[in-house]
Structure 1
Amino acid sequence: MQHLPHLGTGIGWRPEIADVVEAMPGIDWVEAVAENVCPGHLPDSLLRLRERGVTVVPHGVSLGLGGADRPDEQRLAELAARAEALGSPLVTEHIAFVRAGGERTASQLLEAGHLLPVPRTRDALDVLCENVRIAQDALPVPLAVENIAALFGWPGEEMSEGQFLYELVERTGVRLLIDVANLHTNHVNRGEDPAKALDELPVEAIAYVHVAGGFERDGVWHDSHAHPVPQPVLDVLADLASRVTPPGVLLERDENFPDDAGELGREVATIRETVAAAAPPARRADVPSARVPDAPVEDVVRGRVGLAQAALLSSLVAGTPAPEGFDRARLAVQSRALAGKRADVVAKVAPELPVILGASTYRTAFLGYAARRPMTAGYRRDALDFAEDQLIGQRVHDAVARRELTQWWLDRSGPKPPSGRPVARALRAARLALGRG
């Protein structure tokens, strides 16, 4: 058995609050979104934190360990490189799928741009366990996986969340990153009792804990990571901390950062005090040893999982009918949320777009585009495809905006449009109009 590293109390490091995090007293460690960190060009803020002895943990969001396909070797290599560059004691990812379709299902590969829940079935668990083992073998440090929040559940589930997580740990020896805000979200959205989940899962396997805020609207809890932590989430944290002292606890805040830096500091202090007040009996925080490795997952099992996930994702992002047994109203809420998040992230990846088009015009235009074109290759490609869509469809009526958008696209799409694509013919005229031959 391996002892888990003691992390203490931390906060999610984001570029927008880098200075605030550096100045915040009592921060033992930080977590950085892995995909936003380049191993060869680490942000100066993270370097300074490391020099002070602050632990940095990379938190991945794009592996899709719950997907039907085996983890992508390149993504695993990049996550490993980030862990080594940061000198991290572990890395974390999610129990989720983020893409579906492709060769396995003879359908278009679709990207969700978001973490979607896996069905708690034997098939899905078998696939997840094998994917986790593949990731463990490829990473230089231990892996912990996080429970996610969900707006909807899968029909025909065979296990509760706690049972699903317990068997995952028992079969793989993986550590857990328990998000108490996600337990609260699933309580509101799916009627799942957080205390029951904590009763069933192996709390001794917890590597650390996430705490975050959200909001409720029309009976649906939105895990926004953009609002203060509410009391019900702190109550779940207290329940967990009364069972076992977690090696680490971390506040997540991804946007809508408060003007008053002291607000984040007070939230961190409240989290620390909540854990300390729970004061559980002393318990060893050891990870159960994995069983003898399972037999390889048959392709037919991955195929069943892949078809189910592709049908669901297609209904969410491509407008196909909802699969049988799902709550269609909840899927509609999820679909709108995915489109909104997609618009927001593209605006961050390509901030020039809302400037060129105007903020409100950009959002309306992007949501219309998203309804026509599901994402297939990530947010940066999505930004270029959106610009192409607006130009080819002659949807930009303001002459100045059209010229600026054309220039923006040309500057980012290489020396000339790829031959053989419809956009080549459409934008060749724009290139000539701009005097670029």
Structure 2
Amino acid sequence: MSVLDAAVLLTTLGFAILLVAAPARARKVAPIVLSLVTIGSLGLWAVEGYWHWWPLFLLIALMFAFLVSDPDTTRRRVPMRVGIGVLAVLALLPWAMPPVPELPAPSGPYAVGSEIFRWVDEARAEPTGAGDRRNVVVQAWYPTELVSGRQWLYLDPLPPTVYGIPRVFLSTYELIDTNATAAVPVSPARERWPVVLFSPGYGAPRAVYSGLVADLASRGFVVLAIDHPYESAATKLADGTIAGTVEDLPADDPDGTRYMTTRLETRTADLRFVLDRLGGELGPLTDRLDLDTVTATGHSFGGATAISAMAADDRITAAANIDGTLYGPEHSLTRPVLLVESDRGETGHSQVYLDGNRGLLERLRAPGFRYEIGAADHYSFTDVPGFPAAPVRFAMGHLIGGSRGPAATQRLTNDLLAPFLLGRHAEVDPAATRHDRVTGGQVSR
């Protein structure tokens, strides 16, 4: 919340309390106070958009009406007092949910550039039947030395509703600073940069991992964050169409295992399609990728996707699964694997999750690592827990878990990912020991 936000809100709420408790005193200062908050609220409207502050605007209007009403008209003034009280409470909502959330700044030595590619795989039909050919959307995050001042939007354009929430309530997410700029060259610090394919959780857009992937890019990686259309709430396709969620869970598949396995096959093909494009024209990334160091990682279902893709394609040299339940066939992998888990006590991982990842490590014929991050829940790896204001985040962290917070969780995760993805396995355990409440280590060699 900005200084202007706080000043207008606190002044308005303070005057509302004075008006209800001592109308006579309020009348003496009303011209000055209401003039100031009206000017301030118009500033909020101009800068941040009107909808977040509609309770505040109505509150100011109702206070004007209260002041000019006949003091002897008791029947009218009682409901007006009640209305002032209700609107005063509602006016606090933007303070609980800031109109424009802030992402943590990347911690690496490089600035971050970004480029979006919207590709069509002409060799595959869209498996959901919602489109003709399969689209794959990739946002590249890469190290740079320059800042252009031009950003991509945090979210792709949204449909009228997102998971039942009207689009207007998410409109200012377009103003989120992604800490990356567009139309900048790749850093010349090295000729070619290691590549990381990143797959998001089921139903999640790539955007909600911006904090994680921008930080990883700032450490010297080209991170290709992939949107899997018709899973995410909104994905802008190559022809400009906005694809929403298409989900058709079969009635004879009550736990969704068969359905998720089918989705996993589609996602795996998406990652392999991206691999096929890496040697071609990629804008600022052309001829700047180290194709001998291509790894995969992802969160939740994206973690399962990373493991599946490495099992299916030898071009992927290592894979990291961040808190993901595995689906599909059991794999006996011969390339390194890293498992990064949230606090089992806070997330409550299913038995399927526990059995699948334990079996993966037992069958592994390469270096394997597993770490559990205390006080991190399943969503701590995303930007979402950072959207509420600090007091709300504090309450949520202590009531439902994840008190470590997304910024600290993401930075710790990247401290583990960075050496692991480069094959510097001796550096992974020391990276873990620099943080508190991290358990685990190397489990196979």
- Please report the TM-score for the alignment, with normalisation by the length of structure 2: 0.29
- The structure carrying a bigger strand percent of its residues is 2
- The structure carrying a bigger helix percent of its residues is 1
- Please report the TM-score for the alignment, with normalisation by the length of structure 1: 0.29
Bigger CA radius of gyration: 2
Of structures 1 and 2, the one scoring higher in RCO (CA 8 A, sep 6+) is 1
